[in-house]
Amino acid sequence: MSFVGRLRSKNLHTWLPGYGRYLAHRAVEEIQTQVRIRTGADRADGPRHLLFAMCDHYEPLWGKASIEQGNQRVQTWEQGYPTLADPFRDADGKKPQHSFFFPGEEYTPQFLDALARLARAGYGEVEFHLHHDGDTAETLREVIVGHLARIAQHGHFSRDSDGRVRYAFIHGNWCLANARKDGRWCGVNEEIPLLWETGCYVDMTFPSAPDESQPNIVNQVYWPTGNLARRRGYEHGTRARVGSRMSDRILLIQGPIALARRPGKMAVRIESSAIDDSDPPSPARLRTWVNQQIHVEGRPEWVFVKLHTHGAPEPNAAVLLGEHGRLLHQTLTTRYNDGQRWILHYVTAREMYNIAMAAIDGRSGDPNQYRDYERPPPPVLD
């Protein structure tokens, strides 16, 4: 296969130009920061705050599992996650937080009840995940509204003051806004405004490399712009920045993506912040995630690290709940929570959004005080 062919097989052509722009923008930001420090307009001291969110495409029935197997997978998490999380605390005394993006099409009452028990015990929150195919805007709206209503019966999702459900979203098969060329796994070009209309406030689907859905915008918190009803409406956007809020669309918060060396090798890999049994977390990967310095422009001291996983299947659960998971949190709570260089904050997807919005509105200081800044906790936490 030719070099160009290898690039295309990994869909590098869809995002490498954006990665180059990101690296150039980051270099300029670092130069500007050093200039401000030297001229006294900024301070060199003070720790940075690491906002860490684990976003799980949580699919108990993955692989056409039976209800019995699904029950066992959920039980593994209900029993195993407290064992993993209890020894660790962030700077605010919070346990590691897990955001369970639950697929509407897998609705099973006992699954949602078990996740509600985990939420009430302080281990995380439930958000919305959806796999769909061949929809129109009309059919998709009906599907989303129905799924939200069923899941909300278990106390999940934030609510407006009038009781309207508000939710964070991850698209199944990565195909937000009809991303694939063949039209599979979505069908609705205008999905982004439709999500907003049904109560979505943030999308956390990306990164998705090497999938073809990967956008050319990388390592950003951003607002989609232009014609949001077009296919792949997430491809155009403007960086979220202090003092510039948009109140008529969803925010997109991306996880880290990078080209990184494989440990002990010269080979380069695509680092797309996914955790599974073939690619467990490690201190080296964590360093790469943090080094992408994802932030709201104008608030670089608040660094966002959003990871994704498919935690329900047994091999991945073993990684996340076992020794690899313990090592991840041990590294986070030591190397990134010394109080001098770093202060660690475990956050849910909702809290990460709230802190991003606080930054956009010009808030500063300790981000812990903004966990509930705009979207309140779900009723299950009342």
In this predicted structure, what is the pLDDT of residue 292? 97
Residues in CB range of 279: below 8 A, 6 or more apart: none
The pLDDT, as a whole number, for residue 37 is 63
**CA gap 285, 303 in Å, rounded:** 16
* β-bridge pairing 221-224 and 237-239: antiparallel
Give the confidence band of 41 by pLDDT, cuts at 50, 70, 90.
low
Q: For residues 58 and 312, what is the distance between their CA atoms, to the nearest angstrom?
A: 6
Distance of CA 69 to the CA centre of its chain: 27
Give the Cα separation of 300 and 44 in Å (integer): 12
Average pLDDT over residues 146-167: 98
Report which of 271, 301, 296 is spatially closest to residue 50, judged by C-alpha positions.
301
**pLDDT interval class at 33 (50, 70, 90):** confident
Q: Report residue 18's pLDDT band, with 50, 70 and 90 as the boundaries.
A: confident
Task: Enter the tokens of residue 15.
Answer: 């995002």
For the four alpha carbons of 175, 178, 179 and 182, in that order, the dihedral sign comes to positive
pLDDT in the model for residue 43: 57
Q: Let me know the angle formed at the C-alpha of 112 by 130 and 308, rounded to the nearest 5 degrees.
A: 50
Q: What is the pLDDT of residues 198-251, one digit of tens each?
A: 999 999 999 999 999 999 999 999 999 999 999 999 999 999 999 999 999 999
What is the enclosing helix (H) or strand (E) of 19?
helix 16-38
Residue 88 in contact with residue 96, Cβ under 8 Å?
A: yes
What are the structural domains of the chain?
3-35+48-381 (3.20.20)
Lowest mean pLDDT, pick from 25-29, 61-65, 170-174, 223-227: 25-29
CB atoms within 10 A of CB 68: 8
Interhelix angle 67-85/314-321, nearest 10 degrees: 10
Q: How many whole angstroms separate alpha carbon 92 and alpha carbon 277? A: 30
Position 3 pLDDT exceeds 60: no
DSSP 57-106: E--TTTTT--HHHHHHHHHHHHHHHHHHHTT---TTSPPPPEEEEEEGGG
How many of the other CB atoms lie within 10 Å of CB of 109? 11
Cβ burial, residue 180 (10 Å; 0-12/13-18/19+): middle
Mean pLDDT of the chain: 94
Q: pLDDT tens digit string along 84-122?
A: 999 999 999 999 999 999 999 999 999 999 999 999 999
Find where tokens 């800044």 sit: 373
The pLDDT of residue 7 is 53
What are the structure tokens assigned to 363, written together? Answer: 């808030």
Give the pLDDT of residue 32. Answer: 78
Each residue of 220-254: b (16+ CB within 10 Å) or e?
bbbbbeeebeebbbbbbbeebbeeeeeeebbbbbb
| CB 114, CB 74: distance < 8 Å | yes
Q: What does the alpha-carbon distance between residue 291 and residue 40 come to, in Å, rounded to a whole number?
A: 25
**3-class secondary structure per residue, 176-193:** CCCCCCCCCCCCCCCHHH
